[in-house]
Amino acid sequence: MKVVTTKEELARELAKLEGTRSLVMTMGALHEGHLSLVERATAETDHTIVSIFVNPLQFGPGEDYEAYPRTLDADVALLEPAGVDVVFAPEVEEMYPREPLVRINPGPVATVLEGKTRPTHFAGVLQIVHKVMNLVRPQLAYFGQKDAQQLALIRTMVADLDMNLEIRAVPIKREESGLAMSSRNSYLSQAEREDALALSRALADGKAAADASGAAGEVLAAARESIEGANVRVDYLVLVDPETFQELEAGAHGAGLLAVAAYVGPTRLIDNMEVSIA
């Protein structure tokens, strides 16, 4: 496994690889959720490239860019036995030698839910995803379903800009408690980890209502009743169309996505769960 920090080094290493190529993009602080992406990628392609880059463009004012965990040595140690061929871990100056003048407009899906709370977030995400995809030129790229809105926007960008690769989604990896794995879980105290279980419980209760042939309104009501009184500050808890991220009407049928964002102490966490509405 080679660890490279510049675009030139990356290009040299990629030139040595023959066969299909996959990409897993991360901001580091790797956990089993990231490794599940790598496992899929290495199983389905000849060569896997992992990027590790804390992207400043996707953090808004007052967010945790400076505090975001940076654990490159530990990350490399996890990736070494996982079958990864190249780790691309550039500095900010390598990716953004100047303020980008050409920007990607992520469109209307980026204005709701995460985009409403973090209005510049998805433009920054798509900027770096597009850049790294252009540098790596993979046939396949793997993203986790925990960031469902991000996944939908990346798929839309790839389709709308005729980018020659396939996006594959990997299911959310959860701790035994049900808590969705996230690099930001490292911010949580033990008591806050217990409080954070309110998110996955609410989603599970909503899914149980859906499985019991509940209407869309009943599904959402079950999830909201579950989280009511929990020691978290809810940003949103909604039932949305999994493609448009518009909230579903009470009489909707078919596929839905229960999505939640909440502050546990000062830490903002997100989670989601697919449901089928009768």
Tell me the HSE value of 95 on the side-chain side, using a 13 A CA sphere: 24
Contacts 24+ apart (CB under 8 A), 58-67: 58/120, 58/121, 58/122, 58/124, 58/125, 58/128, 59/121, 59/124, 60/118, 60/119, 60/120, 60/121, 63/118, 64/184
User: Considering only CA atoms, which of 208, 202, 207 is closest in space to residue 235?
Assistant: 202
The token duo for 147 is 């960031």
Binding residues for ATP: 27-34, 144-147, 181-184
Q: Which of 34, 47, 121, 130 does the annotation list as catalytic?
A: 34
Binding residues for beta-alanine: 58
Binding residues for (R)-pantoate: 58, 150
Is 130 a residue of the active site? no
Binding residues: 27-34, 58, 144-147, 150, 181-184
CA distance 151 to 9: 28
User: Catalytic amino acids?
Assistant: 34
